[in-house]
Amino acid sequence: MIRPIQIAFVPAIVAALSATACRAVERGRAAEQASVYIKVEAIGSDGKPCVRTGSGVCVAPDGLVVTNQHVIRLANTIRVVFHAATADEYESAAEVIGVHPDRDLALLQCRAERAAAWIPLGSTRDLQLTDGVRCAGFPLGGWMADGNRNPSVSISVGSVASLRKNADGRLCWIDVGAPVAGGNSGSAVLDEASQLIGILTQRYESFGRATPVEYVKELLGAAALDVRFDPAVAPEDGGPVDVVVKPQGPVSDLLHGLVWIPDQDQRPIRLKPAGNTLIAKLRAPPRQDGQPQLPIVVQATTPDGLGWERVVGLNRLERPPVAIRGIIDSITLQRLKANGWRWDADAPDQFCNLYVNGLLVKQTDAVRNQYRFLTETAFDCQAGDSVRIVVFDKDLSRHDLAGEICFTAEPGLTVTRPTAGELQDCEITLRAVPLRPVSLE
C-alpha cells in the first residue's frame, strides 16, 4: 500500500517565496518613486533651440537630483517631473548647483512641492560580477508616453557584466547587462538592497555603462561641505592642524561628523559642533618626499540623518600642483574662413582638427557651417600651466589655421573669448580634480 507523504514544510516555502516577492515589489516601488523625468530646453549642436529629455534620481528629501551633465548641457530651462505619469505627478523648475570636474555628472536643486522620495547612496566596495542590479529611468523619453502625458518610469533588471578599473586600481565604470536606450542617461542603477551604486552614462549595443556611486559622493560632498584648514599648509615635520567644516549649498546645518587621514594608523577624530560649524584638531604626519598634498576624509551628518563625505587636500607646499580637467563645450567659427572661402549651408566643410598644447584631441566629422562643432572635448593640465588651443580648418588638400585660444589654467576659470584668428566665440571651463586616495577605510 502506498502511503501519502506529508509535506509539512510547504507553508514555510510559500512564506519565504512571498517574502521575497514582497521585497522585490518594495525595491521596484522605491526605484519608481525616486526616479525623475528631466525635460530640457537647450541649444543644439547646430546652434538652434531644441528640446531633449533624460533621466535622473532624487538623492535627498529636499529635491536634490543627480543626472548626467550631457543631459542638461547648454540648457536654457530645466524642468524635473516627480512621480511621472501617476496621480502624484508634479513638475519643478531646477537649477544646476554642481558639475563633476571629470565625470559626466550634474547636481540639480529642485523646488519640490513636498518632501520627495529619494534613494540612499550605497557602495561598490563589495560589488561582484553577476550581482543583480536594477536600472530605473525613462528610455526613449516622450516616445514612450501616451499622447501628451509624461512617460512612466521603466525598470530593467540585469546584472553586473564588468567592473572596469583605471591604472590606479580605482573603479571607474560599471558595465551593466540590462536593456537600456536613449533617454536612459542619468538613470539610477540600484543594487539588490535598493541602494544607489551608479548612474547610467553611456549605452552600447548589448550593455550600459554606469558611473560608480563614489563619484556621486564626490559631487555631493563638494556641493555640501566647505572644508578649511588652519594652518593652510601643514608643518613640514608634522603637527596639529585645525579642521573647520561649514555647511554650504544644499546643506544648511551639520550635526556631527568624523575626520581622518586614509592609509594611516590614526583612528577617526570626532568633529565637534560649534554653532553652525564642525571643528576638530588633526595631527598631520611629517611630509614625505613627492607629497604636495595630504588627502583628508571628512564625513558629516545633517539633522535629517543624511550623511555627506568629501576628500580634501591639505597642502604640504606653499603652492602645490593642482590637477585640472578642462572641458571644451563649444567653439564657434566665423562664417568667413581664414583663406576667404565662405561656407555654404548646403556644402559642409570636411574636417576640423583641434590641438591642445600640440596634442591632437579632436577631429570632427563633416558638419554644416561648423557651429558648435566641438562638444565636451576634455584635456588635462595643472594650475598655472599655459594652455594653447589651436583650431585647424582642413580644406580638401591642406590645413588652414582657423584660430587659437590661449590662457593660464586656474580652477574655476571659464574662457569665452578666442585669442586670435577666425574664431567667433568659445566656452571652455576648468575645474580642479578632487584627490582620490586608493583606500577610504
Reduced to 3 states (helix: H, G, I; strand: E, B; else coil), residue 222 is helix
What DSSP designation does 120 have? -
Could you read off the pLDDT of 78-117 as tens digits, one per residue?
999 999 999 999 999 999 999 998 889 999 999 877 878 9
What is the spatial distance between Cα 108 and Cα 95, in angstroms, rounded to a whole number? 5
Helix (H) or strand (E) holding 20: helix 10-34
Contact 106, 69 (CB under 8 A): yes
Please give the average per-residue pLDDT across 232-257, as a whole number. Answer: 94
Tell me the average pLDDT across 157-170. Answer: 92
403 close to 420: Cβ distance less than 8 angstroms: yes
Task: Provide the pLDDT for residue 353.
Answer: 77
Cβ(153)–Cβ(32) below 8 Å: yes
pTM exceeds cut of 0.75: yes
pLDDT of residue 376: 65
Predicted confidence (pLDDT) per residue in 287-313, tens digit: 887 788 899 999 999 998 889 999 999
Predicted confidence (pLDDT) at residue 23 exceeds the cutoff of 90 = no
Strand pairing category for 171-177 and 106-110:
unpaired
Instruction: Return the beta strands (E) in 138-193 as ranges.
Output: 154-165, 171-177, 188-190
Give me the pLDDT at residue 437, please. Answer: 65
In the predicted structure, residue 389 carries a pLDDT above the cut 70:
yes
Domains of the chain: 33-110 (2.40.10.10), 132-218 (2.40.10.10), 231-315 (2.60.40), 323-432 (2.60.40.150)
Closest among 139, 135, 132 to 155, alpha carbons compared: 135
